[in-house]
Amino acid sequence: MNLTKSSNPALSSKVFSRVGYASGSNVMTLQGTLNKAILMLAIVILGASYTWGIFFESVNPASVVPWMMVGGIGGFITSLVVIFAPKTSPYTAPVYALLEGVFLGGISAFFASTYGAGIIMQAVGLTFAIFFLMLLAYRSGTIRATGKFKVMLFAATGAIALTYFVSFILGFFGVNLGFIHGSGTFGIIFSLIVVGVAALNIIIDLDFIYRSSAAGAPKYMEWYGAFGLMVTLIWLYIEILRLLAKLSSRD
């Protein structure tokens, strides 16, 4: 398959080059992938509702932290299994969705307890709205995933990942990059940029899925494509949540 680079590590050309070809009803389709992404989203919501309930029903909200750790670490490990063993994606992708849901439910609950439950509804609504706008933009050809576009977005995504990594490491030495995580003007601008980059990654993900379908990727890759798209949507949701929290802190 002659597929181009994706800034989403789950949808790299190296992965798709290993799966071979299929024909007839065994071929991956864009619609089939979107259907499975919807199913995975439902699983995420199921997992999130569990830790959300624990947080608000518990006398000690900190009791949800172990569940978040299980969800976060388990989700990361499962994602590696999906990436390196795509044939397992019909089974491991739903597991990833459940674990990430458990993690997101805890994060959302902590944000809601600080800024009010309304921030969660706003973040969910904006995430869905951005996804459908990107889907419409891609299908209508308003935004085209050209080679230059992909290279620039790949660089931007890498720069953001590096910034977060450096911030994480510096945190062990007591250095806090407040200008990134704070609610000041620069912090908000930074979050807006990150949300924009995450949103544009949806275009690349959709394009990669479309090209893989056209190239004849096997049917089980619909689960893999849905997994890759879910990775981007979860990232987008978290960044929107962070942005809304910064804006609320300025009120």
Q: Is residue 5 part of a domain?
A: no
pTM passes above 0.85: yes
For the stretch 74-92, what's the b/e string if a residue is b when 16 or more beta carbons lie within 10 angstroms of its beta carbon? bbeebbebbbeebebbeeb
Q: 29 in helix, strand or coil?
A: coil
Give the contacts of 133 (CB within 8 A, at least 6 positions apart). none
CA–CA–CA angle 237, 243, 245 (5° rounding):
105
Which residues form the domain of 33? 29-249
Q: How far is CA 226 from the centre of its chain?
A: 11
Query: Residue 195 carries which side chain, given as an amino acid letter?
Result: V
- Domain count within the chain: 1
Q: Is residue 8 part of a domain?
A: no
Is residue 1 predicted with pLDDT exceeding 50?
no
Q: Is residue 2 part of a domain?
A: no
**Strand pairing partners for 27?**
218
Q: Is residue 23 part of a domain?
A: no
Q: What is the average per-residue pLDDT within 227-242? A: 96
pLDDT tens profile 45-90: 999 999 999 998 886 778 889 999 999 999 999 999 999 999 999 9
Q: Is residue 1 part of a domain?
A: no
pLDDT tens profile 113-148: 999 989 999 999 999 999 999 999 999 999 998 889
